[in-house]
Amino acid sequence: MQKSKRKLLKIYIACIIAGLLLVFVHISARNIMDQALLSDKIKMLSDAFFMPSVLIFGFGLLTWIASEGQFDVFAFGFKQLSDVLFNRKRQDRHAKDFVEFRQDGEKKYKEKFDMEGKTYIPLIVVGLIFFLISLSFNLVFESMI
């Protein structure tokens, strides 16, 4: 249990660092220090925090959907297509039908992620935090106008 908490903490830290890096890149690209008005700087900060919030939150939602197995049909189809296109004989590692493929996928996912499949939660939480920071900058900007 301690190992999974440590792994979860690493995911939170990585998400926060990636988000702050995106904020820094956005602020650097827009030259925030060249703005004379404080309201313009606050507007740019709102924009800078909104971009990583959408990216991280969206990636978290896609990870959640994928962890529920909603994209398994595409993976199975592409594996079947590659077998046909490259004239491969069916090997033991490939499932014979979709149900078997999905059961094998669930086993592999649980072995790979020892956190009961909840790796998407840090992405969603950090995305929402960045969104709240962006919203707070936006509210300050609106009150200044």
112 pLDDT above the threshold of 80? no
| CA–CA distance, 85 with 77 (Å, rounded to integer) | 12
| CA–CA distance, 90 with 10 (Å, rounded to integer) | 39
Model pLDDT for residues 66-82, shown as the tens digit of each residue: 777 777 777 778 887 87
- The per-residue b/e assignment along 104-115, b for 16 or more CB within 10 angstroms, e otherwise, is eeeeeeeeeeeb
Q: Please state whether 69 falls in left (phi above 0), alpha (psi between -120 and 50) or beta.
A: left
Q: Which range marks the domain in which residue 115 is found? A: 2-144
| SS3 assignment, position 86 | coil
Model pLDDT for residues 114-124, shown as the tens digit of each residue: 555 577 899 99
- The per-residue b/e assignment along 116-137, b for 16 or more CB within 10 angstroms, e otherwise, is ebebbbbbbebbebbbebbeeb
pTM of the model: 0.75
**Domains in the chain, number:** 1
Model pLDDT for residues 7-43, shown as the tens digit of each residue: 888 989 999 999 999 999 999 998 888 888 888 899 9
Top-confidence range, 1-5, 22-26, 94-98: 22-26
| CA–CA distance, 76 with 64 (Å, rounded to integer) | 19
